[in-house]
Amino acid sequence: MRDLERLIGLLRELRGGSTLLGYRVAQPAPIFGEIRGLEDLPLSVSDVQGPGYYRLVDGYRFRHTYSSPKRYLLPPEHAILVVKPSYEVVEPERESSGVVFFGIKPCDLSAIEVLDRILLGKHPVYTARRRGVQAVIVEECLEPGEMCFCALMSYGPVASGGYDLAYARLDRDRLVFKPGSKLGWELVERLNLREAGDEVVKEYLDMVERAVDTMKRRLPSLERATSAFKRLIDSVEFWKAVSERCVGCANCNYVCPTCFCTEIVDKVESDHATRVATWAGCLSYTYGLVAGGHFRRELYMRYRHFVLHKFLFYPKQIGGLVGCVGCGRCITWCPLGVNLREALKRAVEVAGVER
C-alpha cells in the first residue's frame, strides 16, 4: 500500500460520527474547514510565502494559510447570550459535538495550548468547542517555509505533546507516523503500520535537525530577542522605525493563531436581542478608543503592544508560554509586508544584546 493511501484509512477510522476539520484546498488559498476525503487535503501543493505575499504552486510541502484552528475554536463572530422579550437572559446552545482536527501543524498545536491557558474553562464558546475535540492529528513540517521560525520559539517543527497521532512526509510518497496517546497507538494498530527501520528513523531525524538549523540561522535566539525588547520598551524611535509601514488594518491580529481579543455588540431584533462577540485587533484604531479618550492613539504604540504582548506579557499571563508560535502568518498576510522577524533582528542590534 502506498503511504499516502494510509491517510485514506486514517480518515475512514476517524470519521465515524465525527466531523473532520483541517486544511482544505481552495483558491486563492486553502482554508481551515471540513475534510470529507483525501481530495480535500493539500497533498499536491506547496505554499510560497513572503512579506505580503502568498502563492500556491505544485509540490507537497504545504505549511499553512491565513486561517487556523482558532477559526473553529473561537469563531470570528459568536453569540454570548440571548435576551428574550420577557427579559429572560439565556445562553445559546453550545456546539460540542465530536470533532477531529486533522493535519494541523505543530505551530497550530502550540497555539491551541496557549489559547487553552487563557480561555479554557473561562470562555463559554471556546470551552464547549475545545472539549468537543475528540482527537488531534498533526502533520509535521520537515522543510520550513520562508516565513517560518517556530523552532526559534520551541513550538516546532515537530509535535512534542498534546496530540494523538502525528505524521511527516519524508518525500512526496513516503510517510512516517508517530503516536502520542493511547488513541494514537490504537490507530497505528488498526492501520497495520509497521515499525520504521533505523535508516528511515535516521532520515527523519536528520530532516528535523536541518529544519531546526535552517530556522535558527535566520534569527537571533528568543532569549536575546526578549532581552532586547525589555531594554527598548520606552524607545519611541525604535518602535516608530519598525512600524513605519504599518497602516493599522489589524490583519496580523486576525490571522494570528493566538490573538484572542473580542469586542461585544448587541444585536436587537423584533423578538429577541443577542449579545455577540466579534474578533477585535489591538492594531486597529478603535481598539484603544474608550469613553475617556484613547490609550494608544499613535500607531507605533499599538504595534509595540502587539509585539510585546506576544514576547513579554503572555509569559507573565499564562505561566511562561510565549504568545508567538513562529508561524509567520502576521508577515505573510500583512498587505504592507511589515516584518516581525526584522523587528526581532533589529531589536537585538539596536539594544546591543550579546550572544
Give the residue ranges of the chain where pLDDT is below 70. Answer: 1, 95-96, 355
Reported as a single tens digit per residue, the pLDDT across 141-197 is: 999 999 999 999 999 999 999 999 999 999 999 999 999 999 999 999 999 999 999
The per-residue pLDDT for range 1-23, each reduced to its tens digit, is 477 788 888 998 888 878 999 99
What was the pLDDT predicted at 62?
A: 96
> What SS3 state is found at 313?
helix
Q: What is the pTM of this model?
A: 0.94
| Phi-psi label, residue 284: left if phi above 0, alpha if psi -120 to 50, beta otherwise | beta
Cβ proximity of 2 and 173 under 8 Å: yes
pLDDT for the residue numbered 316: 93
How many Cβ atoms are within 10 Å of 300's Cβ, its own excluded?
A: 18
Q: Which three cell numbers stand for residue 123?
A: 470562555
All cell numbers assigned to 33: 474547514
Rounded Cα–Cα distance for residues 296 and 288 (Å): 6
Sign of CA pseudo-dihedral 131, 137, 142, 143: negative
Pairing of strands 293-294, 289-290: antiparallel
Distance from C-alpha of 306 to C-alpha of 312, rounded to nearest angstrom: 10
Q: Angle, to 10 degrees, between the axis of helix 222-231 and the axis of helix 340-351?
A: 70
Q: Could you give the CA distance from residue 83 to residue 6 in angstroms, rounded to a whole number?
A: 49
Dihedral sign from CA coordinates of 208, 211, 217, 219: negative
How much of the chain is in helix, strand and coil states, percent to nearest 5?
40, 20, 40
DSSP 8-state class, residue 309 = I
Which pLDDT value is given to residue 307? 97
Residue 79's pLDDT is 92
